[in-house]
């Protein structure tokens, strides 16, 4: 059924949604998607008849409007598509059938490293190093752009993908000829949810699931609970949008929103600018939610016009939202599974850390919190001690998208510089915004020189410190850390601070607003109470306190109103797809299949599809498996597949140096995700991983249970098991796979022979990724877990019940003399089909071949 919507001189076909008023906004968008794509009546009824406290057993199949990727996930996704073209040709099919059926947009933003900082030439030098390290990968991306229809690339140096999405790429409402429909955006980065702040529904999916979506497959999701968060009141003078984000992250993670959608509503929403909304929505993965939606309203339309979208398009978004019941009515909220309430006036200045984004600490409690942990004594003549700030970084999409906190940081820097303060000499200070517009308005406001005077010189436009591309510490700091086992800190305006992520030598990592990042750089330590102790002294010896430098909200707003103009966005995005001369010089030619270079250390054809048969083999039980690692709670994808620098002594580093790669060119795991040989060696190689099978150690170590328990690298043990045809399994606690939607956290273990992960609970995206790679996620029954069942990890594991026509709701596990039941987390019929085929890629390829 279709209807028509007239906007100005144009007439659009729409698919009307007669959704009940109680239905949450996010589910109205999903319902439209089902109706437009002719979904089965049962799926439509499951959404249209949604009840706040109903059973959540029904899955729906959604078709995204576009797929959104970044380079470190996009390169392996493109490599998989190229490998699928090879496999299609080998099976007698047309390789060009493997081609995106919907727009696939990739932004190169995860590869630049903060090697050089605090110098005027830092952006240019870091960009040069980026191209030196990544030319192979970038040529591969250009091949994809030339060879695959609908595959678009935003070259390096343009900004961070999510900020570019919000400021330029997001449509909110798609136009395809004369048809209009919601912009359902699914991305290979968990922070794709940032676009929720613009009224666009979207969330993070694994790259392997994104590949299937690009090839026309639907994405399966259980009908979710929806949590309503009513906002009211106003933020206090001393609080920022970042403090609000950290407060809600703590509260929603504690409430429990994994696998659920959060919707914000109420009078407080009306008063929040889009830039605050997207800051909140960006952190949805840190809450644990699937998405965090702000419905469309007048502020959304204002922002679209302000950032350069055409008046015609802004008018369409407004008319469509009102016609389809997607326009926010703050006085008539839908029905929600749970209703939470937050008075913005209760928010206080805060940071989060030192290891998790939900661990909020009021600013006046940071010093006491840091001192709670015992640490070895530091020699009295050592200039820096525990808590010294080794990295202070204004970075990431989360906060650099928000002019209110960025201008606040600039004004604080101005006042500090005018009082004669400087960042402490041991602090690595970097500025890496998510948009080029930031530097435009800093320049227009005259704030750039003051930031530079404190060391916050532009380092480049990209994720950098937040993704672990923070570069080396200052040499003297690195030596002091090694010599005295110092617990030094990073303070960053990012969204992730997991162990081992930001910089391998830095143990304590704190998320903070940009102005607090500047303040901690001036103080030089987190072992300080910024609310009562001075940041430093001026040239006259007078103490300077944070309260002396903190800008008032009215002052911040006045600067924003004066300097930020729509033409800044138009100028920044006028050539967003062109790239600089380095990008244009990359040699590339289009071809149906990719000419793989066997000597490449960046892009290799992975063996997932080697020898694939036209039909899937029957499922078999998992017998005689050994435990590769036994892990605790909240194991993140960073623990499983680290994104940061490749240590020369690691299996991956030894592999690369053995091929002649110089130590200074090892680069990061994130940049080498197109090379399975590197990434399988990097599985479970995080320097902070604690494997209970190897007590007293940190890093990727485990016993080889076929060799008397000799402690070896995880890679070496896995290869030994594979050589002996022994399957491997993983034991874990709650929240397994939290964090980024990182394919290699599933791909790496799959290549190491892991057949199942037994955990107390799984994070949503990672569980989906495991299924997508043919690894069986098995959840312990309530009240059970590895420790409760007395599992040491030295047992031989057998999983039975997989050989029948249907996979039962529980399977039997035998671990030596212990037998127990587990729940296979194949949550939808589509996931069960993926598992039977050995993963998404063989499933899709077989269907393309059959068609």
491: number of CA atoms within 13 Å, CB side?
Answer: 27
**Could you tell me which of 344, 404, 365 has the C-alpha nearest to residue 531?**
365
For residue 215, pLDDT over 90 is answered with no
DSSP secondary structure letter of residue 651: H
Ramachandran angles phi, psi of 705, nearest 5° = -75, -5
pLDDT at 782 over 90: yes
**pLDDT at position 245 over 80:** yes
Instruction: Assess contact for 293 and 261: CB atoms under 8 A.
Output: yes
Q: What spatial distance separates the first Cα and last Cα of the chain, rounded to whole Å?
A: 28
- In angstroms, rounded to a whole number, what is the distance separating the alpha carbons of residues 16 and 8? 19
What average pLDDT does this structure show over 709-720?
A: 98
With 80 as the cut, is the pLDDT of residue 404 above it? Answer: yes
- What is the pLDDT confidence band of residue 668, given thresholds at 50, 70 and 90? confident
> What is the distance of C-alpha 479 from the center of its chain?
32
Taking phi first (over 0 means left), then psi (-120 to 50 degrees means alpha), and beta for anything else, what does residue 34 get? alpha
User: Please, where are the H alpha helices in 664-784?
Assistant: 676-682, 714-723, 744-751, 764-772
pLDDT of the residue at 588: 82
> What pLDDT, on the 0 to 100 scale, is given for residue 851?
78
pLDDT of res. 850: 86
What pLDDT score was predicted for residue 72?
Answer: 84
Q: Is the pLDDT of residue 644 over 90?
A: no
Instruction: Give the pairing type, strands 728-731 and 796-800.
Output: unpaired
- For residue 626, give both structure tokens: 């050994």
Q: Is the pLDDT of residue 741 over 80?
A: no
Sign of CA dihedral 309, 313, 318, 321: negative
- Whether 186 shows a pLDDT value over 90: the answer reads yes
pLDDT tier for residue 310 given thresholds of 50, 70 and 90: very high
Residues 6+ apart with CB under 8 A from 798: 621, 622, 623, 624, 625, 813, 814
Residue 654 burial (10 A CB sphere; 0-12, 13-18, 19+): middle
The average confidence (pLDDT) of the chain is 94
- Cα torsion for 393, 395, 398, 399, to the nearest 10°? 70
Cβ pair 740, 640 in contact under 8 A: no
Residue 559 — φ and ψ, nearest 5°? -65, -45
Report residue 795 as tokens: 């047992």
pLDDT digits (tens, 9 = 90+) for 480-539: 999 999 999 999 999 989 888 899 899 999 999 999 999 999 999 999 999 999 999 999
d(CA 703, CA 717): 7
Using a 10 angstrom Cβ sphere, with 0-12 exposed, 13-18 middle and 19 or more buried, the burial of residue 258 is middle
Q: Are 753 and 779 in contact (CB under 8 A)?
A: no
Residue 671 confidence (pLDDT): 85
When pLDDT is cut at 50, 70 and 90, the band that residue 587 belongs to is: confident
Tallying the residues shown for the chain, one arrives at 851
> What φ, ψ does residue 227 adopt, rounded to 5°?
-100, 125
* Interatomic CA distance for residues 381 and 377, integer angstroms: 12
Confidence of residue 241 (pLDDT cuts 50, 70, 90): very high
State residue 656's pLDDT score.
97
Judge if 66-346 and 352-573 fold alike in CATH terms: yes
Tell me, what's the pLDDT at 469? 86
Q: What is the pLDDT of residues 787-843, one digit of tens each?
A: 999 999 999 999 999 998 899 999 999 999 999 999 999 988 889 999 999 999 999
Task: Name the CA radius of gyration of the chain, rounded.
Answer: 26
Peptide bond into 354 cis (omega under 30): yes
Helix 840-850, helix 71-90: angle, nearest 10: 40
User: C-alpha 413: how far from its chain's center?
Assistant: 29
Q: Where are the domains of the chain?
A: 66-346, 352-573, 622-641+683-850
The DSSP annotation for 261-302 comes to EEEEESHHHHTS-HHHHHHHHHTHHHHT-SEEE--B-HHHHH
* CATH superfamily placement of domain 66-346: Aconitase, domain 3 (3.30.499.10)
Look up residue 285 and give its two tokens: 């993965």
Is the pLDDT reported for residue 706 higher than 90? yes
812 burial class (0-12, 13-18, 19+ CB within 10 angstroms)? middle
- Please state, in angstroms and rounded to a whole number, the distance separating the CA atoms of residues 748 and 680: 4
Tell me which of 3.20.19.10, 3.40.430.10, 3.40.50.970, 1.20.90.10 is the CATH number of domain 622-641+683-850.
Answer: 3.20.19.10
Write the burial class of residue 365 (CB in 10 Å: 0-12 exposed, 13-18 middle, 19+ buried).
middle
Q: Which residues pair with 821 in a beta bridge?
A: 812
Report yes or no: 759 and 778 within 8 Å, Cβ to Cβ.
yes
352-573 homologous superfamily? Aconitase, domain 3 (3.30.499.10)
Specify the residue for token string 């369409």: 316
Give SS3 for 228.
strand
Integer Cα distance of 421 and 518 in angstroms: 11
Q: How far apart are CA 414 and CA 539, in angstroms?
A: 16
* pLDDT for the residue 22: 92
Contact 778, 799 (CB under 8 A): yes
Cα–Cα distance measured from residue 454 to residue 450, given in angstroms and rounded to the nearest whole number: 7
Contact by Cβ (8 Å): 524, 426: yes
Between residues 315 and 220, the one the model is more confident about: 315
pLDDT in tens, 449-478: 999 999 999 999 998 998 888 999 999 999
What confidence tier does 300 reach under pLDDT thresholds 50, 70, 90? very high
Residue with tokens 């030439």: 121
- Percent of the chain exceeding pLDDT 70 equals 100
Strands (E), 350-470: 350-352, 360-362, 389-395, 428-432
What lies within 8 Å, CB to CB, of 602 at 6+ separation is 134, 136, 137, 140, 671, 672, 674, 675
Average pLDDT of the residues in 539-562: 97
Q: Pairing state of beta strands 428-432 and 350-352?
A: unpaired
SS3 627: strand
- Look at 368-382, 428-442, 618-632, 808-822 and tell me which has the smallest mean pLDDT: 368-382
pLDDT band for 254, please (50, 70, 90 cuts).
very high
pTM for this prediction: 0.86
Q: Are 640 and 737 in contact (CB under 8 A)?
A: yes
Q: What are phi and psi of 813, to 5 degrees?
A: -115, 130
What does DSSP say about strands 728-731 and 622-630: parallel, antiparallel, or unpaired? parallel
> Which of helix, strand or coil describes residue 212?
helix
Distance in angstroms (rounded) separating the CA atoms of residues 729 and 59: 28
Give the SS3 label for residue 440. helix
Q: What is the pLDDT of residue 207?
A: 83
Distances (CA, A) of 315 to 177, 300, 480, 648: 17, 11, 59, 55
Q: Write down the pLDDT at residue 422.
A: 97
Q: Could you tell me whether strands 151-154 and 104-107 are parallel, antiparallel, or unpaired per DSSP bridges?
A: parallel
Instruction: Give the contacts of 202 (CB within 8 A, at least 6 positions apart).
Output: 64, 68, 183, 184, 185, 186, 187, 192, 193, 195, 196, 291
Q: 3-class DSSP state for residue 540? A: coil
């Amino acid at each position: 059924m279709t209807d028509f919507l007239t906007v100005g001189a144009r007439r659009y076909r729409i698919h009307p949604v007669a959704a009940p008023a109680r239905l949450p906004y996010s589910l109205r968008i999903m319902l439209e998607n089902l109706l437009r794509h002719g979904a089965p009546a049962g799926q439509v009824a499951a959404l249209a008849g949604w009840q706040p406290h109903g059973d959540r057993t029904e899955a729906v199949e959604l078709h995204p409007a576009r797929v959104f990727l970044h380079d470190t996930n996009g390169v392996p996704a493109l490599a998989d598509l190229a490998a699928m073209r090879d496999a299609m040709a080998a099976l007698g099919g047309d390789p060009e059938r493997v081609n995106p059926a919907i727009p696939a947009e990739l932004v190169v933003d995860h590869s630049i490293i903060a090697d050089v900082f605090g110098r005027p030439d830092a952006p240019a030098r870091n960009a040069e190093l980026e191209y030196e390290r990544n030319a192979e990968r970038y040529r591969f991306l250009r091949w994809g752009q030339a060879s695959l229809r609908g595959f678009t690339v935003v070259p390096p140096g343009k900004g961070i993908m999510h900020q570019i999405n919000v400021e330029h790429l997001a449509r909110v409402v798609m136009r395809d000829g004369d048809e209009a429909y919601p912009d359902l955006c699914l991305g290979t980065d968990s922070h794709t949810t940032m676009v929720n702040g613009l009224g666009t529904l979207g969330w993070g999916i694994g790259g392997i699931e994104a590949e299937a979506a690009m090839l026309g497959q639907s994405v399966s999701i259980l009908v979710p609970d929806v949590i309503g968060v009513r906002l009211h009141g106003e933020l206090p003078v001393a609080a920022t949008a970042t403090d609000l984000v950290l407060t809600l992250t703590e509260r929603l993670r504690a409430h429990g929103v994994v696998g659920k959608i959060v919707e914000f509503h109420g009078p407080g929403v009306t008063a929040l600018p889009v830039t605050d909304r997207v800051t909140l929505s960006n952190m949805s993965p840190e809450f644990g939610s699937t998405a965090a939606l702000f419905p469309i309203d007048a502020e959304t339309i204002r922002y679209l016009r302000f950032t350069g979208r055409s008046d015609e398009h802004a008018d369409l978004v407004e008319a469509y939202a009102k016609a389809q019941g997607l326009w926010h009515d703050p006085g008539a909220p839908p029905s929600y599974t749970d209703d939470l309430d937050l008075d913005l006036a209760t928010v206080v200045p805060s940071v989060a850390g030192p290891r998790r984004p939900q661990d909020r600490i009021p600013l006046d409690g940071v010093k006491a919190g840091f001192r709670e942990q015992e640490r070895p004594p530091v020699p009295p003549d050592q200039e820096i001690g525990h808590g010294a700030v080794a990295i202070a970084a204004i970075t990431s999409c989360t906060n650099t998208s928000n002019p209110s906190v960025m201008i606040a940081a600039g004004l604080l820097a101005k006042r500090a510089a005018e009082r004669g303060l400087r960042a402490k000499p041991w602090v690595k200070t970097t500025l890496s915004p998510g948009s080029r517009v930031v530097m435009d308005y800093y320049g227009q406001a005259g704030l750039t020189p003051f930031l530079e005077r404190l060391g916050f010189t532009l380092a480049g436009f990209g994720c950098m410190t937040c993704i672990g591309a923070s570069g080396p510490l200052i040499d003297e700091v690195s030596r002091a850390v090694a010599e005295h086992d110092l617990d030094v800190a990073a303070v960053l305006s990012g969204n992730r601070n997991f162990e081992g992520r930001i910089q391998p030598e830095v143990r304590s990592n704190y998320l903070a607003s940009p102005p607090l990042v500047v303040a901690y750089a001036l103080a030089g330590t987190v072992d300080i109470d910024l609310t009562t102790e001075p940041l430093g002294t001026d040239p006259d010896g007078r103490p300077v306190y944070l309260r002396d430098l903190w800008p008032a909200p009215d002052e911040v707003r006045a600067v924003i109103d004066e300097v930020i103009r729509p033409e800044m966005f138009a100028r920044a995005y006028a050539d967003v797809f062109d790239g600089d001369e380095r990008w244009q010089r990359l040699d590339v030619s289009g071809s149906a299949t990719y000419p793989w270079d066997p000597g490449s250390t960046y892009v290799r054809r992975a063996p997932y599809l080697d020898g694939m048969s036209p039909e899937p083999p029957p499922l078999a039980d998992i017998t005689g498996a050994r435990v590769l690692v036994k892990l605790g709670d909240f194991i993140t994808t960073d623990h499983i597949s680290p994104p940061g620098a490749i240590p020369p002594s690691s299996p991956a580093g030894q592999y690369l140096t053995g091929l002649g790669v110089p130590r200074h060119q090892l680069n990061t795991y994130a940049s080498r995700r197109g090379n399975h040989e590197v990434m399988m060696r990097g599985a479970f190689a995080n320097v902070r991983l604690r494997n209970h099978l190897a007590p007293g150690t940190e890093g990727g170590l485990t016993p080889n249970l076929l060799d008397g328990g000799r402690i070896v690298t995880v890679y070496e043990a896995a290869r030994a098991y594979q050589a002996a045809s022994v399957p491997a399994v993983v034991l874990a606690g709650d929240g397994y796979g939290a964090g980024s939607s990182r394919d290699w956290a599933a791909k790496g273990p799959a290549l190491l022979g892991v057949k199942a992960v037994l955990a107390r609970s799984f994070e949503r995206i990672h569980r989906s990724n495991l299924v997508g790679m043919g690894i069986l996620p098995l959840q312990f029954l309530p009240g059970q877990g590895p420790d409760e069942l007395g599992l040491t990890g030295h047992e031989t594991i057998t999983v039975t019940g997989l050989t029948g026509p249907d996979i039962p709701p529980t399977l039997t596990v035998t671990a030596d003399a212990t037998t127990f039941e587990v729940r296979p987390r194949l949550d939808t019929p589509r996931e069960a089909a993926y598992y039977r085929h050995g993963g998404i890629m063989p499933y899709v390829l077989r269907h393309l071949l059959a068609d």
